[in-house]
Amino acid sequence: MALLVADTFTSSLTKLASQEQKAVKVTAFELQMDPSSPGNAFHRLDRGRDKNFWSVRVNSDIRIIVHKQGSSVLLAYVGHHDDAYHWGERRKLERHPTTGAMQIVEVKEVTKEVETFTSGPQSDLASAPEVGPEPKPLLFDKLRKPELMAFGIPEEWIEDVRQANEDTLLDVISHLPQESQEALLRLAVGESPEPPLVIEPEEDPYSHPDAQRRFRIMTNVEELRQALEYPWEKWAVFLHPDQNVLVQRDFSAPARVAGSAGTGKTIVAIHRAAYLGRLNTSAKILLTTFTKPLANAIKSKLALLISDDERLLERINVDALNNVGYDLYSKAFGPPNIPSSSQIHNLLKRSAESIEGHKFSTEFIISEWSEVVDAWQLTSWDAYRDVTRLGRRTRVGGNQREILWSIFKTVRKVLVDKKLVTWSDIFGRLTEIADPSKPAFDYAIVDESQDLSVAQARFLAAHGGDRQNALFFAGDSGQRIFQIPFSWKSLGLDVRGRSSTLRINYRTSHQIRAQSDKLLPPSISDIDGLVETRTGTVSLFDGPPPDILIYETEEDERDAVSNWIEQRITEGCKAEEIAIFVRSSAQLARAKAAAKNTRCKVHQLDEKSDIEEGSISVSTMHLAKGHEFRVVIVMACDDDVLPLNERIETAADEGELEEIYNTERHLLYVACTRARDWLLVTGVALGSEFLADMREN
């Protein structure tokens, strides 16, 4: 007996209470072990269009809707009695007549128009047609039925699609399979999507790539346990065909996938690591990102994907890139002694004070060190004299550079004498000893690559070079929150001609995505001329518009946020599906006060902890990366908090000030795009200037 699980089942499962979910899982396991067991009480849905849909009793109220055909059983939906029956009676499982992909199709409700007759003469006023606004133009009425069917649209929904305009589009596509939604959204924004693959009638309809995105065949109890343990969107098993092309494509040199938040870049990176590992059974693979929490999240998803292959899991090293550098450096030179930022700043300050006659501020000297001297590993006057100071607006002439170098040279000497090394030093030394014939890894896949440092990028180039498939990067320039831009090409990482962009957003509603995108320009160009655009990106589902609200006092904000959270909980959201983000630790007390004012427990996310069941998560924006929640509140977006006033005051020149504003915008964008269904952004008057941008029509 074949047991299949549909994405509609796992998504409906997550909406049940914890104890209800446990009962459902027990019944699902029993179905897999012995579907004919007398304990499995099947009842045919006689009122449904598809007579192969049945209900299975879990308890007095909960029912699983299954589709039984031949020797296969499909878990299609689960819910409370009336809800489950209503869902099953309005669905049918069928092979699409054009593409051949298996689909669960929502049956259209037929509404009959009743003509009302009245006796006697009618006044001209009563018979006059009502005058309303001009109807909006139809989006797809010029497309013929076969053209629309080619995109996997069920035949009975063709006329509804042809009558859709910009106001009704999202409602219409909510009734359609995912491949149809994606195609129509792309058509609506002026793109020309490729129709899905067509398979032959004798081929298995579940083998179609689009069917494999929504159905999973369970071969054993352990697979079923994993499928039921994790929400579908976090399971990371299925790939969009566009994503799968990138996973399996051969690249002659470094390659990159870009895309805005929620488009599945991380999933592509994880699948590519597994794909290369299976293809090359002795290869050493590095799957890395810029922080330990992100690496842990990736490691969990990878374990889900390849849980059946422990040897492959052992060959893929998933870790933060700094940790990788630390381990390699320790093996080659012994454990490094890394100075803190405050130690470096004190050394720079003392060295500057010993040089008379200069007019450079401490802030400028610190930023010149971190963004130029240390970042580019400059160890001599000649190197500093000739370096191109990208992004630095303050002009520094020859004599001024000499004075600055005398400051930096002293600091360099102190670091050497005390055997201290910065993170840039660590990766610089590893780059120097890199042996192309004995690379530290055969393949490296780098997630959140927009936040690579200069030294890290140079290290990766030295170990990957131009070897086929050696380096693969996933990132989004709009989410860069740590590093200043620099030329990848100058360091040996030329991804021109091998850069792709994902445009289907799976995580965030259309309304939240559109509102968040207003924080960023429509396109962002990097130093090498590569352009990342947000135009053409579409979300697969609709939702309520974000609330962007300013209050007179912090107390007013706290109470309003608490009430808003209570409303979401009343509507069925769980505490662990809710997060509050703030700009920095200084605002955490405001977030915690609002969360504690509700009926829920509060848990502070940090680099070592994760989401706790039954608790609202509270954290800073920098730690929002790698997480997603149904409900997100971004609090304390005050005028002096976002952008952070302390950062603005340290700006050494116009270029650095512009960079601060850019990364502060990116931070807010990152925080907002962690939301799936609901987003609330608040502050105290006057409020951040960024909120005005989000409100713009």
Q: Kindly report the backbone phi and psi dihedral angles of residue 676, in degrees, each rounded to the nearest multiple of 5, phi listed first.
A: -95, -55
> Is 116 a residue whose pLDDT tops 50?
no
Angle between helices 18-33 and 221-229 (to 10 degrees): 160
Instruction: Give me the CATH code for the 237-333+427-507 domain, please.
Output: 3.40.50.300
Contact 100, 179 (CB under 8 A): no
- The domain spans of the chain are 2-101+201-232, 237-333+427-507, 341-420, 544-695
pLDDT per position as a tens digit, 364-388: 888 889 888 999 999 999 988 887 7
Smallest Cα–Cα separation from 365: which of 107, 72, 591, 650? 650
pLDDT per position as a tens digit, 389-431: 655 555 566 678 888 999 999 999 999 999 999 999 999 999 9
Where residue 122 falls among pLDDT bands split at 50, 70, 90?
Answer: very low
Angle between helices 454-464 and 321-333 (to 10 degrees): 70
Structure tokens at 26: 């027990």
> Is 697 a residue whose pLDDT tops 70?
no
Q: Are strands 53-57 and 42-44 parallel, antiparallel or unpaired?
A: antiparallel
Q: In the 8-state DSSP scheme, what is residue 289?
A: E
Distance CA 603, CA 614 (A): 9
Least confident of 299-303, 470-474, 653-657: 653-657
pLDDT per position as a tens digit, 635-659: 999 999 999 888 888 776 777 788 8
Distance CA 201, CA 99 (A): 9
Q: What sign does the dihedral 218-223-224-227 (CA atoms) show?
A: negative
> Is 232 a residue whose pLDDT tops 60?
no
Q: Is the peptide bond before 686 cis (omega within 30 degrees of 0)?
A: yes
Q: What is the mean pLDDT of residues 12-20?
A: 84
Number of H helices, E strands in the chain: 28, 24
Locus of tokens 């609090």: 635
HSE at residue 84, side-chain half, CA atoms within 13 A, is 30
Q: Which CATH superfamily is domain 544-695 in?
A: P-loop containing nucleotide triphosphate hydrolases (3.40.50.300)
Q: Identify any residues that bridge with 316 across adjacent strands, giving them in sequence order.
A: 285
Structure tokens at 36: 């004919």
Distance CA 361, CA 542 (A): 51
Distance CA 507, CA 667 (A): 18
Query: Do 2-101+201-232 and 544-695 agree at the fold level?
Result: no
- Better pLDDT: 697 or 379: 379
- Better pLDDT: 141 or 126: 141
CATH code 3.30.470.20 for 2-101+201-232: no
Give pTM, 2 decimals.
0.73
Q: Identify any residues that bridge with 65 across adjacent strands, giving them in sequence order.
A: 55, 77
Smallest Cα–Cα separation from 55: which of 70, 40, 69? 40
Q: In the 8-state DSSP scheme, what is residue 373?
A: I
